[in-house]
Amino acid sequence: MLESLHIKRLAVEAGFDLCGIARCRPFPENERRFRSWLAEGYNSSLDYLARNLDKRFDPARLVEGARTAVVCAVGYKNEASEGYPASCRTKIASYALTTDYHTTIRQMLRGMLGALRQRYPELQGRAFVDTAPLLEKQLAVEAGLGWIGRQSLLVTPTLGSFVLLGELLLTDEADSYDAPCTLEGCGRCNRCLESCPTGALVAPRTLDTGRCIACHTIEREPQRRIDLHGWLFGCDACQSCCPYNRRAPHHANKAFDPLFDPRAMTSEEWEALDERQFGERFGATPLQRSGLERIRRNARLNAGDGAAENRAE
């Protein structure tokens, strides 16, 4: 049987800020809501969200015999998380200013899993970082880390929603499990819905990815054209306005220090980059996912939209 306090000590040693432990179980209610969301077409160009539905809502289908989910979170808030000037046309989501979190968190989780296997040689399990059909936000709620906010992100009481998640699915039982979070911490606040510049949050906890700037700048692009409102990669608009995020501390783990400041670069400087320069400066960051040409295209669109706004004024 896994000792829960030992697991949490390993999480702290690995550099995580929060760790909770939940039982693995199916989530039929989440599946019902997700299928309804898909039926509305809110996944737009994100076809992969409609795949592997049998696995998405039952962790034991991802790891046979999984009984325990260890859910870890690390804060990444930095200066850019607090928002950009309205005139800025080179905005980048604050999580993307650092070394790609997939790489960093995967290493942290693998270190934990290796230490657990030394203590429990028969233990089987896998580490997950946002690349498998795992219901990680709901597992985080089950593990007591926070609640799902109106912007559809996990909100934690101490770190807000500027957190990145990683999970271990393990085949052994734990000696104790954390109580699920029952807090509805958003109260009557609707700032995230009101702050979304494209109206992508069509209702509480309901995101239309076809209107979402993050989707348009990172994922396979939806057919409709939207104003990117100065964003080159991702969007923090629904987070920077959150009261929990405003009072959350900046990140403590040095692995999430920003590698550059997008406010220090103009659209022309992005345009002037060649592939070698882009790789040297940003190859370790999530920006590599979209690539230089797409970021250049976004810079041109933002420059055009900004000029149109100035003419309208």
DSSP secondary structure string for all residues of 101-125: HHHHHHHHHHHHHHHHHHHSTT--E
- Active-site pick, 17, 54, 130, 257: 130
Closest Cα partner for 247 from 117, 159, 123?
159
Angstrom distance (rounded) from CA 119 to CA 286:
34
Burial of 223 (0-12, 13-18, 19+ CB in 10 A): exposed
- In whole angstroms, what separates CA 111 from the centre of its chain? 21
Angstrom distance (rounded) from CA 239 to CA 160:
9
- In whole angstroms, what separates CA 19 from the centre of its chain? 16
Is 261 catalytic? The answer is no
CA angle 39, 138, 59 (to 5 degrees): 90
β-pairing, 154-155 vs 147-148, is antiparallel
- In whole angstroms, what separates CA 231 from the centre of its chain? 17
Angstrom distance (rounded) from CA 163 to CA 242:
13
Tell me which residue has tokens 């592997």.
52
Angstrom distance (rounded) from CA 169 to CA 1:
14
Give bridge partners of residue 125 from the DSSP assignment: 170
Which H or E run contains 163?
strand 163-170
Could you give the residue numbers annotated as active site?
130
